Structure 1
Amino acid sequence: MIHQIRIDNFKSLVDFEIGLSRFSCLVGLNGAGKSTVLQALDFISQQMRGDIDSWLEQRQWEPRDLGSKLTAKQNVDISVQVETEKHGLIEWSASFNRQSLRCTTEEAFCDGVRLLKVEDAEFWIDRSVKQGSLRDVRSEIMFEYQGSILSQLKRKQIGEPLQALKEVLANIRSLDLLSPEHLRQRTRDSAGHLGLGGQKLSAYLHEQGSEVRQRLLEKLQHAYPQLASIDTRSLRSGWKHLDIAEQFSGKVLSTPARHVNDGLLRLLAVLSQLASDEHFLLFDEIENGINPELVEFLVDALVESEHQVMVTTHSPVILNYLEDEVAKQGVIYLYKNAKGATQSIRLFEIPSLAEKLQFMGPGEAFIDTQLTELATEIQSLSAKGGKDVSAAKR
């Protein structure tokens, strides 16, 4: 699980830190940086996949779009803390150069022992946390790559702790551009994932096989009892087609994906990812297109998932279905400081919200609050404490 990230010089994120729970929910005013945080996590994941060019093309971005207008820095600095079951806490930091599209410096530590160092076109690797010296495996970098050097090195080259770090970060999966238009598209293959907008849904479900589709059907039937089947087939030239069948009065009606309602398609996409092998799932404005009576079903599925999950929302309804402890740990308020940089704090660590939570539900406390006034309260706390109170980063 990823416990904490720090990123500097990524869009509105300047010296930005955030602490993460198993389930995290970002709230805040429009423009506060909620979507940017999801994009930053996806950017961090791309460091371990290595194809930065394709990722930028997917988002229709240029390298210059990554940097913040609030600073003159060129590199994007990253720091991540990952808790692994076998190796404990692993810390990785890197400096990403927007011209070369690679991390020009990197370090990784496990239990205080340095596992990796990249500097001056050379790298050092310690394959075991029990070893103490990196000098014996110092190597000159003689190959081209993008992102982290770990994206190009194999398991036998880097050892188990670094491989565990690589897998956790590489298996962050963002669906922050999820939309009905994308979900309805036919595609030839999915490469094992849905795509940022869910545009590979038909191919993804086809490749997962009938058993996976049956399990998804059984889950969805709790929300849509009339569902009869989720069917896919391969067309000419390899295109994959998706049909949803429903039963009414004993008659089965099959509907192609291009005519299926938005909410069902979105739920199908979300649940398919909760059944995947990804480690960390990111969803933007999770309530979009979902009927209010199905929100509890969706929230329960996200909170109870074995995956680490982050969502953004503008809806107090989402918070209403969170247990108080889940809300205390996972709901994070984002706002911009006087310089325009995004800041974070756990919503219910703000005194006025903590007080309301004693006699209101999380959603009720949220809707009873003027978000425009919270920044003033946070600033007053910072002034009294003499330090930054962005507690969500600790």
Structure 2
Amino acid sequence: MLKRIYIDNFRCLVNFELDLEAIDLFLGANGSGKSTVFEVLQKIQSFVSGDSKVEAIFKIADCTRWQNSQIQRFELEIIGNSGCYKYELGIGHNRDKCRVEYERLWFDSQPLLKFELGEVQLYRDNHSEGPQYPFDWSQSLLASLMPRNDNTKLTWFRERMARFIIVQIVPSLMLDESEREQMRLTPKMENFVSWYRYLSEDQGKVAEIGSILRKVLEGFTNFKFERVSEDNLVLKLRFLAEKGNIKPIEYRFGELSDGQKTLVALYALIHGTKSEDYTLWIDEPENFLALPEIQPWLIELYDLCSEGKLQSLLISHHPELINYLLVSPIGYWFERQSNAPVRVKRISDRVAENSGLPVSELIARGWLNESA
């Protein structure tokens, strides 16, 4: 589970720190920095996985405008593998050039990796010193590591970082054809069908997702992949026809409504990843859905997170999500003024008890700070 985030000198995030739970809700006005946190995690994940060199991921334009520092600092703490990992990353900018100033990884306060000044020192699983050698300033050392019997703690962390799913569902961008399976979702879930194709290797997951959707999508029976070219498959959904017509009616995924696509994506996200140590970051999951549609999904998500089968971080402005999730102190309120850093504070249903109004109503009236 991701336990802590620290971000410094990235846009409006200055000396910014969050401690996280199994489920957290980010609240605040537009422009208060909620999505910026998601974007930082996307960049760190992309860096660690070796998707691109550092200059393609971290830009000098993202340094905080009202500061003179040219170094961006990031820290993550992840609980897992019977211990606590701490990852530290420093990115230096000099005009249009940037480089990795340092990259460090610790396990229970013992070193696993240290990269500083162009030199790397690796440590074995027992924390004895391993190889030391010069390394490229432009990429993550973690991305280049080959698994060995004595570096399983290092490779575990890299694999755990790959299990961050950070998305905002945009149904209009979701393609219904797939050239190949893809293990990682794109930020707007454009490649959902390719990701679902990867999930479909596990027939148990497919059966469970199908069973859930039969309760959610009226008339839905099953998914079907159909070849449309030498390389491409299209995802189709079958629905029961009206009485008297035995043959089900098929629709391409792209022919569904935005709400139907969103429901399919949301249920696939939680039932395709549960019990596998994933962290889901979902920006406004309620978009395109009515209250009776989002509420059952929210209950399932909350139960999975409460049972330790999933971790989830949500951004939302929806009253139902706000009031339902804030039955315990699992929310953060983001606020900032122009050209000033983000400030965050914990909120819970206690503010509602003090005022006699739901938290969502306090937010709508601009009274949250007065009641907190």
TM-score calculated relative to the size of structure 1: 0.81
Q: Deviations over 1:250-279 (max 9, x none)?
A: 442222222201122112122222213572
Distance 1:320 1:247 in 2: 36
Query: 3-state DSSP class of the match of 1:341?
Result: coil
1:262-306 deviation per Cα after TM superposition (whole angstroms, max 9, x unaligned): 122112122222213572111111100112101111212322332
* Inter-partner Cα distance in structure 1 for 2:299 and 2:214: 15
Q: Distance in 2 between matches of 1:272 and 1:102?
A: 38
Out of 106, 109, 121, which is 2:106 matched to? 109
CA distance in 1, matches of 2:180, 2:157: 28
Identify if the C-alpha distance between structure 1 residues 372 and 52 changes in structure 2 by more than 3 Å, giving closer, same or farther: farther
Q: Pick which of 104-113 and 64-73 moved more.
A: 64-73
Output the CA distance in 2 between the equivalents of 1:28 and 1:204: 31
Q: Tell me how large the CA RMSD over aligned residues is.
A: 2.8
**Aligned pairs for 1:164-203 within 5 A:** 164-176=156-168, 178-203=169-194
Query: CA 1:68–1:225 in structure 2 vs 1: closer, same or farther (change >3 Å)?
Result: same
- Structure 2 CA distance, aligned partners of 1:164 and 1:171? 11
Deviates more, 1:270-279 or 1:312-321: 270-279
Q: In the TM superposition, what whole-angstrom CA distance separates every residue of 1:101-150 from its partner, at most 9, and x where no partner exists? A: 6532122222232222111111112213454xx4x632222x5752x211
**Map of 1:139 onto structure 2:** 133
Contact 2:323 2:359 in 1 (8 A): no
Deviations 1:195-230 (A, max 9, x none): 211111223323433724332111112222421111
The counterpart of 2:362, out of the listed 361, 368, 371, is 368
Q: Structure 1: which 4+ aligned runs deviate by more than 4 Å?
A: 53-56, 98-102, 358-361, 370-378
In the alignment, residue 292 of structure 1 is paired with which amino acid? L
Partner residue in 2 for 1:383: none
Does residue 312 of the first structure (1) align with residue 332 of the second (2)?
no
More helix by share: 1
In 2, distance between residues paired with 1:179 and 1:313?
Answer: 15
2:29 is matched with which residue? 29
1:96 and 2:91 are equivalent in the alignment: yes
Aligned residue identity for 1:183? M
SS of the residue corresponding to residue 289 of structure 1 reads coil
Q: How does 1:37-56 map to 2 (within 5 A)?
A: 37-52=37-52
What 5-or-longer segments of structure 1 have no aligned partner?
379-394
The one of 242, 261, 267 aligned to 2:235: 242
* Paired residue type of 1:21: E
Give the match for residue 381 of structure 1.
none
Deviation, structure 1 residue 356:
2.1
Distance 1:215 1:189 in 2: 23
Give the secondary-structure state (helix, strand or coil) at the position aligned to 1:321.
Answer: helix
Task: Tell me the percent identity.
Answer: 18
Corresponding residue number in structure 1 for 2:197: 206
2:116 to 113, 116, 119: 119
C-alpha change, 1:154 and 1:145, in structure 2 (3 Å) is farther
Q: TM-score, normalised by structure 2?
A: 0.86
Deviation at 1:33, TM superposition (A): 1.2
